[in-house]
A = this chain, B = another copy of it.
């Protein structure tokens, strides 16, 4: 925006302010256009975001009928506000998160309401001044204890929201009970409006284009494996200069894909925690072994650390030189390891996506183990006369990392097989039926 920033140095403050004001509409317009473009891009990147926003709008409009429709308002009165509040707070992007929050909220309201009614009974045993003191002591003890319980890692992972709502409801009901005698009614009204709100949120979330976080986790784990596989396959060609002879070298995005795997831990754990709430998904069913996905994810990450290492050798200046004799010598088993491990990982990725077992993967692993053994014996037995360490060492180091990648891949396969048996993945024999490829 050149017009927006002319040279102000020799003009007075008034002129400067005027120029700034004159430029303001143009600036604002540019900002608005940029904002609109960003919004458009966000929507294009993942159209589910647009659908989610519309779903939230629909759910809130639905629940606000409690106010707009005379008959409903006469029945529920101003308590309908809790239902609106619940929809806004509970409605999340994925089914798992919405279910988790909804169930947490309902159970916490139920139990905290019951406790508050009980505490109110105790407090009524005391006279005028004693009553608020007893209530205050209970509020203090219970809110401090439950706040402390929120630090338990196991509770925090799945019930954090519920514990917060427990404190909230207990305080609301028991505090209101002091000024309003009908404590049971307060607790009851809060409970059923929250149940109505939660159900509206959950039903809209599940019935209109649902986003299952379990599917997202499964895809993420599979995509991570695929990224690693792509890197390995690409690395072999790139490092041993096969690409110069063959096809182009310009698209090297596959060499950076694995980087996102390095820091995927927290996201995967959050997703697994949310996926546990999706009890009745048509593909996963009840008690799907989400922990096993995390195991595969952890091993994938450990493999990614080794790729980070390989990537370092790729950028190292020694590699820029033409391939040495030694490199050509060990080229074959190295490329074999890269391509077979890469294929194994990509086969696993596809098997996870299709939820079927894989027998192909074992043959890839066997080939890569054989290649690793060859490479190891090459490195072990060769007595290199007049060997120039400068030429040998970087390449040999790459060879060592590749040898280490083979047991790494094997561990991933083992973890996958455990997952496949726990999650009852289909056997390969069933693969002929077309609907397994969904």
Contact = CB atoms under 8 A, between A and B. Distances in A.
B267 A147 contact: no
A179 B67 contact: yes
Contacts of A221: none
Given A81-B176, A147-B52, A167-B60, A383 B393 contact: no
B168 A89 contact: yes
B389 A139 contact: no
A139 B59 CA distance: 11
A390 to B, nearest CB: 4
A417 interface: no
Interface in A257-274: 262-263, 265-267
A14 interface: no
Contacts of A168: 85, 88-89
A168 to B, nearest CB: 5
A132 interface: yes
B389 A144 contact: no
A1 interface: no
Contacts of A60: 139-140, 143, 167, 171
A118 interface: no
A88 B57 contact: no
A232 to B, nearest CB: 17
A175 B144 contact: no
Interface stretch (A245-253, A284-292, A301-309, A359-367): A301-309
Interface in A287-320: 301, 305-306, 308-309, 312, 316
Nearest first, the 8 closest Cβ-Cβ pairs linking A and B are A57-B144, A397-B397, A68-B132, A53-B148, A266-B266, A380-B390, A57-B140, A263-B265
